[in-house]
Structure formats: C-alpha cells, structure tokens
Amino acid sequence: MKVLLVFLFASVYAKHELYEGWKSFYVKPSTDVQLKSLRNLNPELDLDFISYPTVDREGVVVVKPPFQDDFLKFMAEENIEYWVHAEDVKAQLDQDDQLIEAQRKATRFSRSERVTYENYQPLEVIYEYMDTVARKYSQTVTLVTPANSFEGRPIKYLKISKDNFKSGKPVIFLDAGLHAREWITIPTVTYAIHKLVENVTEPDLLDKFDWILFPVVNPDGYKYSYDVARLWRKTRSTDQHSLSAMCPGVDGNRNYDFFWNTVGTSSNPCSDQYAGGRPFSEVETRAVDGILKEHLNKLAMYITMHSFGSMILYSWGHDGTLSEHAFDLHTVGVKMADVIVKSSLSHFPRYIVGNSALVLNYRASGGSEDYAHSIGVKLAYTFELPGFGRGGNGFILNPRYIKQVSAETWAGVVIGAREAGKLFNARSTQPNFDNTRQD
C-alpha cells in the first residue's frame, strides 16, 4: 500500500517534467508598435501566448529554455513592460495540481451532483453527466455521437428541445474544449445544460429555442492535457506529413474551411498553430461542421468558448474587416458583455467586444466562428473567458472561480439568445431570406 501511495504521488508530481526550465511572463505592451513587434517575435522564438496581450492589458506568454535570453533581450530593447508569471512553469503546474487536489478533497462529500462547478472534471465524468442527463430528461434531451475522435473516443453532444427540433424553432449552438488546455470553457457549456433542464430559471429559453450543447469538441486533446501535458492545445491526430508522427495534433481553430492556412497558421505539424493537411482534416472539426450544416437555416447564434482574455470576438478574424452583419454582431455582443460584466466580480477584467483580428491584434484564418459566419450564421462569436490577473497565478483559472465564470457566462448567453431570437424572427419573415453562403 505504502509503495502504491509513493508511486501515485511520484506519478502525479512527475507529470510536468516536460516543462522543466520553462518560464512564463506577463507582457504588457503600451503601444500598437510594441504589440505588433511582440506578435512578430512569435515564430522566431516559438512563444506560446496562453492569453494575448492588448495595448495596456497584460497577456501571458510561455518561453522555452533555448529562447529565454533572446526574449529578455528583446523585451529590454523594445522597452516593453513585463514581469514574471511563473519562474518555473513545472513548479507552477505542480502547484495548480495541488490546488485542484485540495479543492477536490474539500468538496468531495459536499455535493450529490456528479458534475459540480467547484473543480475541473475529467472527461469521463463530463461524459457520464451527459449520459445521465440524456437518460433522466429523455423527453427533452437527446445524446448524439456523430463520430469517434482520432484516438477512438466518442465525440458527444446534446440536443435539447421540447419537441425534438420538430417545430423548427431558432437554434442556439454552444461549443467548448476545441483547444485542449482551455479547461474553463467546458463547465460553461455543462452549466448551460444544467440551466436548461435541471435548474430552470429562464423557461422561455426552451419554449422559444432549440439548443445544441457540445462541451468537449476535442476529447483526445482534453484528456491529454488533463493527464499528460497540461499546456496541450491541439488535437492528437497524425497525418502523412513527415514530422507528424513526432509532432501530433492540429490546431482545431485553424482547421475550418475559411481562408484555410493563409494567415496566422503554420504548415509545420510541430507548431501549435498547425492548420492540418487540409481543411477539416480533423474528425472533431468535421463534427462541428456537421451540426452547423444540419441546422444552418435555423441557427440563430453560435458561440465557441475559448480562454483566456475576457473578450467577445467576431468576424472577420483573417483580415480584420467587418462583415455586413457587424452592427448586429457588435450590438448583441455588447449586450452580452454588459450583462456578464454586471454579474461578474469587481476584480475580474472587464470584457472587450470587437472584431477578433483588431482586438487581439493578430490575424488568423480557419477559425470556427469565421467559418460559421461565412456559411450563413449571422451571430457567430468566440468568447475568450476570464482568467489570470487576480483570478490566479497559475495556468488554470483558480477552481474557486469556475462557478462564477459559468454563471456569468450563462447570464450573457441568456441575453444573447433572446436578442438572437428577435433578430432571427424579424429576418425570417422577410421574403428573400437566405441563410446560405454567399461568396
């Protein structure tokens, strides 16, 4: 028994060896020029932005050992403000684990629900929760498994509807967990499930809408991040590329068929922004595409959850131009942000709403909200959920804020859905309404 305990302890704390010697920094550019030069440094020094800085708002960047001297030299030369986030990334990840473990112990016996919002849940628990909800509320909830992931896990989402999507109500689609390490995104979607069927306080949402809730788009990646490499971002697939076996995985948010692999992407499988061998090379992104296409004529709003940044972002992300629906995108986005900020904590960063390329100051093609928008989903958003700052010093949002972020994000979704419903109904009464792609 003692040996087993020692082994378990060792395996938990040996887990982050990969990150030995890595460091992370808060970076806070104060001008557009500084921000741009920092962004341009990325490919050269293989920087990993865990959260993106904007002008006068700090982000967090992870720097690998061989590039640390050059990075610090650059920061000094460019006079960009920075300070240490984690002197030792491995030690910080170990501490994050301890935080999660302590929280798990403290809450183990305090709740009867399977999924609580006091901690990050393993994939198995999330899947079991989805199964249970589908069984228990079989009148309204349908579990769909459109395919298996690259590593053979079921890809699962829930359809929630009072009449099994028969009367053709407008559809709201939320997804999360495309980027494996963005753990906080997942509970925001399971919380939406909870609020639609288990703890209903806004009954109009199911009277007036049908819902698709897809909490873990990239189950292989999430499992890998949870069990092996915390900062994993991509899927876990391999392809024909000669480097692929050594460097598996595709950045799901560069893999959609929208100006695929043209900007802010890489053709190198070892990059975290690898776009894949072709558009929709990933079964996981194809699953999202299948949903978008199946419900296209009824899709009133699509939100894909990412982290971190406290931002609501919209098209076009590949070039920073505005779409013809920019006014509605911005207006509904601001209404959502407004209610989120009002439901939030005073020390959380305030939300920023805008075109993704302009807000983030980088262009990236092949993103899911751009793709959805390009095929006709008028209201398509990326949420970058809150994290860091005083929310915690680690790589996870402190688990004590999971409930808060889930609840405030839900408050935003509620308002967004109602606004989307109004726009959708007004639009579908117009004779020439067409919800399909116009190139």
The residues binding ligand 0X9 (CB under 6 A) are 179, 182, 253, 306, 313, 317, 356, 364, 367, 369-370, 382, 384
CA distance 71 to 101: 34
Could you tell which of ligand 0X9, Zn ion, none binds residue 386, using a CB distance below 5 to 8 A set by kind?
A: none
Q: Given the complex with Zn ion, which of 169 and 230 has the nearer CB atom? A: 230
Q: What ranges in 16-83 are assigned the alpha helix state H?
A: 32-45, 68-78
Element (H, E) at 62: strand 59-63
What is the smallest separation between the CB atom of 187 and ligand 0X9, expressed in angstroms? Answer: 16
Phi then psi dihedrals of residue 139, to 5 deg = -65, -35
Question: Which one from 58, 284, 369, 384 is the annotated catalytic residue?
Answer: 384
Task: Encode 361-411 in three state secondary structure.
Answer: CCCCCCCHHHHHHHCCCCCEEEEEECCCHHHCCCCCCCHHHHHHHHHHHHH
What is the smallest separation between the CB atom of 381 and ligand 0X9, expressed in angstroms? Answer: 9
Could you tell which of Zn ion, ligand 0X9, none binds residue 317, using a CB distance below 5 to 8 A set by kind?
A: ligand 0X9
Quick one: which segment of 100-108, 175-183, 241-249, 283-291 binds Zn ion (CB under 5 A)?
A: 175-183
Could you tell which of Zn ion, ligand 0X9, none binds residue 367, using a CB distance below 5 to 8 A set by kind?
A: ligand 0X9
Phi then psi dihedrals of residue 33, to 5 deg = -65, -45
Output the CA–CA distances (angstroms, integers) from residue 229 to 16, 35, 235, in the order listed: 7, 29, 12
What is the smallest separation between the CB atom of 201 and ligand 0X9, expressed in angstroms? Answer: 29
CA distance 372 to 361: 21
Q: Site mask, Zn ion, residues 180-199, x = CB under 5 A? A: --x-----------------
Note whether 179 binds Zn ion by CB under 5 A.
yes
Note whether 85 binds Zn ion by CB under 5 A.
no
How many CA atoms within 13 Å lie on the side-chain side of 290? 15
What is the smallest separation between the CB atom of 182 and Zn ion, expressed in angstroms? Answer: 5
Q: Given the complex with ligand 0X9, which of 23 and 306 has the nearer CB atom? A: 306
Which residues in 274-313 contact Zn ion (CB under 5 A)? 306
Could you tell which of ligand 0X9, Zn ion, none binds residue 119, using a CB distance below 5 to 8 A set by kind?
A: none
Q: Given the complex with ligand 0X9, which of 367 and 386 has the nearer CB atom? A: 367
Residue that the structure tokens 């079921």 belong to = 154
What is the smallest separation between the CB atom of 370 and ligand 0X9, expressed in angstroms? Answer: 4
Alpha-carbon Rg for the chain, nearest whole angstrom, is: 21
Q: Is the peptide bond preceding residue 260 cis, with omega within 30 degrees of 0? A: no
CA distance 23 to 90: 9
Could you tell which of ligand 0X9, Zn ion, none binds residue 313, using a CB distance below 5 to 8 A set by kind?
A: ligand 0X9
CA distance 355 to 311: 10
CA distance 139 to 414: 22
Q: Given the complex with ligand 0X9, which of 196 and 291 has the nearer CB atom? A: 291
Could you tell which of Zn ion, ligand 0X9, none binds residue 96, using a CB distance below 5 to 8 A set by kind?
A: none
What is the smallest separation between the CB atom of 112 and ligand 0X9, expressed in angstroms? Answer: 34
Find, among 70, 66, 107, 65, the residue nearest to 87 by Cα: 65
How many CA atoms within 13 Å lie on the side-chain side of 132? 13
Q: Given the complex with Zn ion, which of 116 and 361 has the nearer CB atom? A: 361
Could you tell which of ligand 0X9, Zn ion, none binds residue 356, using a CB distance below 5 to 8 A set by kind?
A: ligand 0X9
Q: Given the complex with ligand 0X9, which of 94 and 370 has the nearer CB atom? A: 370
Contacts 24+ apart (CB under 8 A), 98-104: 99/394, 99/396, 99/398, 99/399, 100/396, 100/399, 101/12, 103/399, 103/400
Could you tell which of ligand 0X9, Zn ion, none binds residue 170, using a CB distance below 5 to 8 A set by kind?
A: none
Note whether 373 binds Zn ion by CB under 5 A.
no
What is the smallest separation between the CB atom of 156 and ligand 0X9, expressed in angstroms? Answer: 22
Find, among 171, 213, 209, the residue nearest to 192 by Cα: 213
Q: Given the complex with ligand 0X9, which of 18 and 263 has the nearer CB atom? A: 263
CB atoms within 10 A of CB 387: 26
Catalytic residue list contains 113: no
Residues recorded for the chain: 439
Q: Given the complex with ligand 0X9, which of 298 and 306 has the nearer CB atom? A: 306
What is the smallest separation between the CB atom of 210 and ligand 0X9, expressed in angstroms? Answer: 26
The binding site for Zn ion (CB under 5 A) comprises 179, 182, 306
Active site residues: 384
